Amino acid sequence: MTFASTGLDPDQRLARERFAAFADEHLVPHADAWDAAGELPPAVVALLADHGYLGAAVPVGHGGEGLDEISFGMLCEEVGRACSSVRSLLTVHSMVSHAVARWGSPGQRERWLPELATGRAVGAFALTEPGAGSDAGAITTRAERVPGGYALTGHKHWITCAGIAGVFLVFAKLAGEPTAFLVERDRPGLSVTPRGGALGTRASHLGDVLLDDCRVPDDARVSRPGFGLTAVGASALELGRYSVAWGCVGLVEACAAASLAHADSREQFGRPLREHQLVQRMLADMVTAAAAARLLCRQAGLLRQAGDPRSVQATWLAKYFAAGAAMRAADDAVQVHGARGIGGDHPVQRYLRDAKVMEIIEGSTQLQQITIAEAAYMFRARSEPDRAPGRQWSVTT
């Protein structure tokens, strides 16, 4: 009763089945072990590449899959249902691929897109710094013009896939203007320090990236100086937000599936848990949240597919709602499982830790709330003030 296939065309239905089978066979059985080990085996990258998933955001002409927005979303959902660390890899890698495809020069596209599509290079997105989190404009990493290129100096932290990336999309200020650069891992002056012990997405190879007079050639700069955050970063982050929102739908589905199974098999007070009404409340909320979050993600996907600028607002709504839904569903899933849910060997405790991350990354819950409320006032000012807020906000009419 998940309505997951409603509104899909035949190709999308098949794609969804393929993604689900991939996740069930290759990710679900290992996700807890990877989480405990704090890393993904290299074979996972090869597996994603072999199935074409690392080329999801790479145009067909450059060796990618060029997935439509809904199919890409469903891929993130199914991978997110199985393992948020792998979904994180897919997200940041797709963000970098998207940035190169959309903003890169012909030379950059020719050089990097086939590498990214085949997984010969994993992409990482290096924006956040110790002094610049939600306020990305406060980055202090600087790029200086030197003969033949640029010298980058700064400190990026909490970078997903830093441990395995072959190329980093680095954001730095060039003469005070935020600018994006593609920096290969083996550039002298770039070093990575792994960051272990994170609460969630523990296997996503998080790390700090230090740039110490790191020299890159002229053609490492992506797009024009000053376009780093407003164009390159913004469109990559929109894709990332969209991907995370779908990943959260997967997390809610995983919480619901585990809880429905447990409430069916566990008896207390002479009855299965599923017959206790307070447990039913939690099960009903999970099932409803999955359906509602998926609808918001679909709406965002359809608008993205149509190139409609309202997709930006629709993606905020989807990510804000889906991240909160994942957190509540994971909290309830642990509750339904009782002490078993707390045990280190049960996936629901991983879902809870991973869900918390979703409320922080790609625009925290608070930043989404601010943005959504401010945009609602903007819409209100443009339309008749006495119309219902839902109508003013509507992205579908």
Ligand X SMILES: Cc1cc2nc3c(=O)[nH]c(=O)nc-3n(C[C@H](O)[C@H](O)[C@H](O)COP(=O)(O)OP(=O)(O)OC[C@H]3O[C@@H](n4cnc5c(N)ncnc54)[C@H](O)[C@@H]3O)c2cc1C
Active-site annotation, residues? 362
The nearer residue to ligand X, 256 or 358, going by C-beta atoms, is 358
The Cα–Cα gap between 88 and 244 comes to 8
Is 366 among the residues that bind ligand X (CB under 6 A)? yes
Hey, what amino acid is at 314? A
Task: For the chain, count helices (H), then strands (E).
Answer: 13, 10
The residues facing 156 across adjacent strands are 209
Where residue 269 falls (left for φ over 0; alpha for ψ -120 to 50; beta otherwise) is: left
Size of the site for ligand X (CB under 6 A): 20
> Within a 13 Å sphere around the CA of 78, how many CA atoms are in the beta-carbon half?
23
Is 159 among the residues that bind ligand X (CB under 6 A)? yes
The nearer residue to ligand X, 47 or 127, going by C-beta atoms, is 127
Is 364 among the residues that bind ligand X (CB under 6 A)? yes
Please report how close the Cβ of residue 280 comes to ligand X at its closest, in angstroms: 33
Please report how close the Cβ of residue 180 comes to ligand X at its closest, in angstroms: 12
The nearer residue to ligand X, 28 or 198, going by C-beta atoms, is 198
**Got the DSSP string for 207-234?**
EEEEEEEEEEEGGGEESSTT-IIIIIIH
Is 360 among the residues that bind ligand X (CB under 6 A)? yes
The residues facing 155 across adjacent strands are 210
Return the closest-CA partner of residue 73 out of 146, 7, 155: 7
Please report how close the Cβ of residue 341 comes to ligand X at its closest, in angstroms: 22
The nearer residue to ligand X, 77 or 362, going by C-beta atoms, is 362
Q: Which of residues 122-141 bind ligand X (CB under 6 A)?
A: 125-128, 133-134
Residue showing tokens 């599923």? 274
> How many residues are present in the chain?
397
Please report how close the Cβ of residue 344 comes to ligand X at its closest, in angstroms: 19
Please report how close the Cβ of residue 124 comes to ligand X at its closest, in angstroms: 6
Return the closest-CA partner of residue 315 out of 201, 227, 234: 234
Is 201 among the residues that bind ligand X (CB under 6 A)? yes
Is 361 among the residues that bind ligand X (CB under 6 A)? yes
Q: Which of residues 179-198 bind ligand X (CB under 6 A)?
A: 198
**Contacts for 309 with CB less than 8 Å, ≥ 6 apart:** none
The nearer residue to ligand X, 128 or 179, going by C-beta atoms, is 128
- Summarize as ranges the residues that interact with ligand X (CB under 6 A): 92, 125-128, 133-134, 158-160, 198, 201, 206, 357, 360-361, 364, 366-367, 370
